[in-house]
Amino acid sequence: MGHDALPAYEVYALRYAAHDRPRRDNFIAGSDPHDAAMPMDYFVWAIRDGSAVWLVDTGFNADMAQRRARTFLRCPIRSLAGLGVSAADIRDVIVTHLHYDHAGNLDLLPTARIHIQEREVHYATGCQMCRPLFRAAFAVEDVVEVVKGVYADRVSFCQGDTRIAPGIEVSLVGGHTNGLQVVRVHTQRGWVVLASDASHYYENMDAQMPYPIVFHVGDMVAGWDKVRALADSPQHVVPGHDPDVLRRYPTPPGLPAGLQGEVVSLHEPPSR
């Protein structure tokens, strides 16, 4: 099947939380000596073709924000109403990895199919979770929701690189967690890659400085090359937590006032 036959999806990033933090928290080593601020944004991503919607990651809720001292801006699931998407419209959820900021709120999507790497489920339920170092960014209730989903026949296990639908593909990257996957989406401007936590900020990937939460540094570094190879250009790679995403991409028309500046269209070219 050639490119012409693939759907050209709309892809949106929606910010739902934020965190003020210093630069040194965002790089494994070699951060500059100045204690500059480098805030973090939290996103979910929606892929749409007409009435069909795929949600990429599910964010966290207000309770989790309080427990983790994050600034909660809005429920990421209910806020999709601003794009004309209700929770009932979401039949498929692609979970990039099971960290608390990516895999909460599954209780709000009780019938959606969950697409996740088998390796991530093994990681989140296996011996590495005996170590506080590796389990710190997981919330057990999110992992339990996925395990319940397995028993309810609503989990699709991805093994490596997998096609979810024509023009929507996931690729196993690992690194940040053992089973992190990135999402490649065909749009009107070509193949866009939602890198999620393969690169939290543009700078992690561009300066080749890993984010400090990392299971396997070698896989993370190799993941940057893989992400670039999957995208049509470096301008087609969207990092997982960078506030610059909201500055680079245009706002879709028709947003309610409360979402102005909080949702951007990734299927449009960035301004820089």
The contact set with Zn ion (CB under 5 A) reads 99, 101, 197
Rounded to 10°, the helix 140-151/118-125 angle is 130
Q: How far is the CB of 196 from Zn ion (least distance, A)?
A: 7
* Nearest CA among 269, 270, 271, 267 for reference residue 48: 267
Q: Which is nearer to Zn ion, 124 or 168 (CB)?
A: 124
Q: How far is the CB of 165 from Zn ion (least distance, A)?
A: 24
* Nearest CA among 78, 11, 7, 85 for reference residue 51: 85
* Residue showing the smallest CB distance to Zn ion in the complex: 99
Q: Which is nearer to Zn ion, 10 or 142 (CB)?
A: 142
Give the end-to-end CA distance of the chain in Å, rounded to a whole number. 32
Count of CA atoms in the C-beta half-sphere (13 A) of 142: 25
Q: How far is the CB of 253 from Zn ion (least distance, A)?
A: 29
Largest CA distance in the chain: 52
Q: How far is the CB of 101 from Zn ion (least distance, A)?
A: 5
Q: How far apart are CA 33 and CA 164, in angstroms?
A: 44
Q: Which is nearer to Zn ion, 145 or 197 (CB)?
A: 197
Coil, helix or strand at residue 141: helix
**Which amino acid is it at 22?**
P
Q: How far is the CB of 200 from Zn ion (least distance, A)?
A: 7
Contact call for residues 150 and 131 (beta carbons, < 8 A): no
Q: Which is nearer to Zn ion, 169 or 197 (CB)?
A: 197
CA 166 distance to own-chain centroid: 20
Q: How far is the CB of 166 from Zn ion (least distance, A)?
A: 28
Q: Which is nearer to Zn ion, 14 or 186 (CB)?
A: 14
Q: Which is nearer to Zn ion, 152 or 217 (CB)?
A: 217
